[in-house]
Structure 1
Amino acid sequence: MEKTLAKKVLAVDIDGTITLNGFGKIHLQALEKLRNLKNDGHHVIFVTGRSSIEAYFLSIFGGLTLLGVGENGGCITHGEIMTHKMIGDKNECQNAFSYLKKSLDEPIKEKPVFPRLTEVVLDRTFDIKNAQAILDEEGFNVGLFDSGYAYHINSRGVDKGSGLIKALEMLNADLEDTIALGDSETDVPMFRTVKNNIAVNNSIPELKEIAKIVTTKNSGEGLLEGLSMISDQFL
């Protein structure tokens, strides 16, 4: 008797993973593949450093599961009537930003992005390790993360891995039946959480080191390649 594979959850980063050349243009063939997987009964959700609202809107237009994990795990937007589940604390992130503005000699300013509900997004104009050390010394309960596009201030313990766990609980889905796809530093916690993971070729070295599969192609082409490589076993 042919073995019936469990339905999967595909947790997909957006920028650098399903976009072209880092400019926010969606790789349409990759999106079509994800839609086909959703039509086959799998959940397909975006887990991104962008806002959860952007992820949610892309899921609508892409015909995917109506759930987006955004702000590096800080907020989940979901449901046929758009609803937000906020995990991070915007106030503590804003307080940390205000302190850094007073403490750093380097320029520090917010990046113009889609409004955030739980995090602060900054231009990459300062030493992030030094800034984190200053915040730790003052006892701020936040972390600084580099998405490659911007620096993000998130509540401590909030990341793509913890946000994905919350999303799986909402979907009543199993971590063992989840596949993660990504490319950047902010995807590392998600890859450490999900053992079945795919790093596209343009990923940072740290992500490639812990990935189960590393593709030979970049971004959307890499996503297609990676899914093809695991389709017989997982999909």
Structure 2
Amino acid sequence: MKSIKFFAIDIDGTLTLNGNGALNLDALAKLRYLVKLGYKVIYVTGRSSLEAYALSVFGGTTHIAIGENGGVITTSPVEHKLLANKENCLMGFNILTKRIKGVNQKPVFPRLTEIVLERTFDIDEGNRIFIENDLDLTLVDSNYAFHINEYKINKGFGLAFLLRKLNIDSDEAVAIGDSETDIPMFKQSRFSVTFESSAQNVRNSATHLVGGTNGEGLINAIDLIIRGKAF
């Protein structure tokens, strides 16, 4: 692990239990152990950066969070770097509601750069509508919700921005996640780990695969890294 400085960690489906937001405390303990060893452990999530930042404070990991699928970087309770414009996403939402039935916002913590929707419609149809209307937007599925983001925004975009700010090379980063939205951050990290239960395209995009779900996979991923077998 001598070349590794940074761990980018997804939250939902990676650190949580059964999709209800509860944390796997054994997995959290593993992350705190990495911090104790001197590594930066950063949450990269589709949730709000405020949720992730609060988790970093109370959970004892590095006090930085990338939220909204890479659209916001939070470094303190009052410091938020916005990498996108929410007004563009709101325009896309208004168009979708006129063209597709069942498009509803999901009740979530306030967002600064994106619109979060219930998973109640055909996401491919939504993206076709964006293309037809020449909107520089995309719909992505985090398995937690559908997200309207500016096309450039993804977890990899936010991660690359933060790594530059911290003067950390992508070769010094590990990314761990379970869903399609994690693929862009896999591409920004030398090493990436996902789970046997992940979708095929996610498994194909990671450099390493481990068993386990509901946080157990994260434990297995960290154990793999600590033992040096991934490198």
Matched, 1:97 2:98: no
Describe the superposition over 1:38-65 as per-residue Cα deviations: whole angstroms up to 9, x where unpaired. 1111000000000011110000011111
Partner of 2:61: 64
- TM-score scaled to structure 2, two decimals? 0.95
Output the amino acid matched with 1:32: A
Partner of 2:15: 18
Distance 1:92 1:52 in 2: 19
Secondary structure of the corresponding residue to residue 84 of structure 1? strand
Q: Conserved in 1, the CA contact under 8 Å of 2:4 and 2:174?
A: no
Any gaps of 5 or more consecutive residues in structure 1?
A: none
Share of identical aligned residues, percent?
44
Cα deviation for residue 219 of structure 1 reads: 3.1
Partner of 1:87: 83
Distance 1:150 1:230 in 2: 30
Distance 1:6 1:176 in 2: 8
Cα deviation for residue 205 of structure 1 reads: 1.6
Output the amino acid matched with 1:192: K
Output the amino acid matched with 2:114: E
Distance 2:96 2:126 in 1: 7
Distance 2:133 2:140 in 1: 18
Distance 2:34 2:56 in 1: 13
The CA RMSD measured in Å over matched residues stands at 1.5
Partner of 1:223: 218
Describe the superposition over 1:105-141 as per-residue Cα deviations: whole angstroms up to 9, x where unpaired. x211100001100000001111111111111111111
Distance 1:213 1:230 in 2: 10
Q: Conserved in 2, the CA contact under 8 Å of 1:181 and 1:200?
A: no
Secondary structure of the corresponding residue to residue 215 of structure 2? helix
Which among 195, 202, 219 is matched to residue 197 of structure 2?
Answer: 202
Which among 92, 96, 107 is matched to residue 102 of structure 2?
Answer: 107
Secondary structure of the corresponding residue to residue 202 of structure 2? helix
Matched, 1:149 2:138: no
Secondary structure of the corresponding residue to residue 214 of structure 1? strand
Matched, 1:188 2:183: yes
Output the amino acid matched with 1:130: E
Which among 151, 165, 171 is matched to residue 160 of structure 2?
Answer: 165
Describe the superposition over 1:189-212 as per-residue Cα deviations: whole angstroms up to 9, x where unpaired. 111222301102332221111211
Distance 2:138 2:151 in 1: 5
Any gaps of 5 or more consecutive residues in structure 2?
A: none
Distance 2:200 2:114 in 1: 26
Cα deviation for residue 27 of structure 1 reads: 0.6
Partner of 2:33: 36
Distance 2:4 2:213 in 1: 26
Output the amino acid matched with 2:99: S
Distance 2:35 2:53 in 1: 15
